Amino acid sequence: MRGNSTSINLTATENRTIIAEGVEMVFQAGQQRFQVLKGIDWEVKRGDIQLLMGPSGSGKTTLLSILAGLLTPTVGQVYLLGEEITSMSPAQLTRFRRQNIGFIFQGFNLFPALTAAENVEVVLNVKGIRGSRARYQAKALLDQVGLSLQANQKPRDLSGGQKQRVAIARALADNPPIIMADEPTAALDSESGHNVIELLRRLAKEGGCTVLMVTHDPRIIDVADRVAYLEDGTLRAK
């Protein structure tokens, strides 16, 4: 994954999974220029559950998308696992994302025609795991999120909480070192919300996974290692 991307000193970054330096984001709509992020310097430590909070419209989803390499900042650098993603080519970035980041974004993005198990399998396939190995791992991932009995159901036959758990099973496919989640419990009832939180906590604390999450859920604040607030385009830790 080196390619043309810049690697910074790994000993200096090994405990910092995510680093943002001077990140700014400006959206342009016609003559209107709207600066959402004004100079974000940030580090997320390995194995932490890091929350990102802030008012609606403050730029949380924008920042998460930039840190995930889904959106290019107007100014600034992002390093993930010691690699500068902001200097990667689109192809390098896609490969890097597939190998290293599990996404739980809003909306479930499940394929309606596929069963829960098949929805997980396609993600494994993209990661190069195929055939019976993919079927076996998809089953194991659905077990892990408590959906063994729903493996052969299609999204329309699943509740909101169950769909979200399929989305989480997909994000966990092939044990990515980084999980990024945008309000993962927002659409869930209290029990499935609790299950999802417990699962994310276990991943970080037992799996060494770094979890970066946008959330308003007070139950997640209880299990978080750190909370950062985004307001007026700048970040403050608390």
**Binding footprint of ligand ADP on the chain (CB under 6 A):** 27, 29, 36, 54, 56-62
CB of 140 to Mg ion, least distance (A): 31
Instruction: Identify which of residues 62 and 192 has a Cβ nearer to ligand ADP in the complex.
Output: 62
CB of 25 to ligand ADP, least distance (A): 8
User: Cα separations (Å) of 112 from 51, 148, 212?
Assistant: 30, 19, 27
Size of the site for Mg ion (CB under 5 A): 2
Residue 152 has a CB neighbour count (10 Å cut-off) of 11
* Tokens, residue 25: 């984001």
For the sheet with 75-80, list strands across it: 32-45, 16-29, 75-80, 83-84
Instruction: Identify which of residues 16 and 60 has a Cβ nearer to Mg ion in the complex.
Output: 60
Measured from each CB, the residue nearest to Mg ion is 61
13 part of the interface to Mg ion, by CB under 5 A: no
CB of 181 to ligand ADP, least distance (A): 13
82 binds, among Mg ion, ligand ADP, none (CB under 5 to 8 A by kind): none
Instruction: Identify which of residues 50 and 61 has a Cβ nearer to Mg ion in the complex.
Output: 61
Q: Report 57-96 residues binding Mg ion (CB under 5 A).
A: 60-61
CB of 132 to Mg ion, least distance (A): 39
CB of 230 to ligand ADP, least distance (A): 7
Residue 10 has a CB neighbour count (10 Å cut-off) of 10
Instruction: Identify which of residues 75 and 129 has a Cβ nearer to ligand ADP in the complex.
Output: 75
Neighbouring C-alpha atoms within 13 Å toward the C-beta of 38: 9
11 binds, among Mg ion, ligand ADP, none (CB under 5 to 8 A by kind): none
CB of 221 to ligand ADP, least distance (A): 17
Instruction: Identify which of residues 121 and 182 has a Cβ nearer to ligand ADP in the complex.
Output: 182
Instruction: Identify which of residues 15 and 35 has a Cβ nearer to ligand ADP in the complex.
Output: 35
**Which residues would be at the binding site for Mg ion (CB under 5 A)?**
60-61
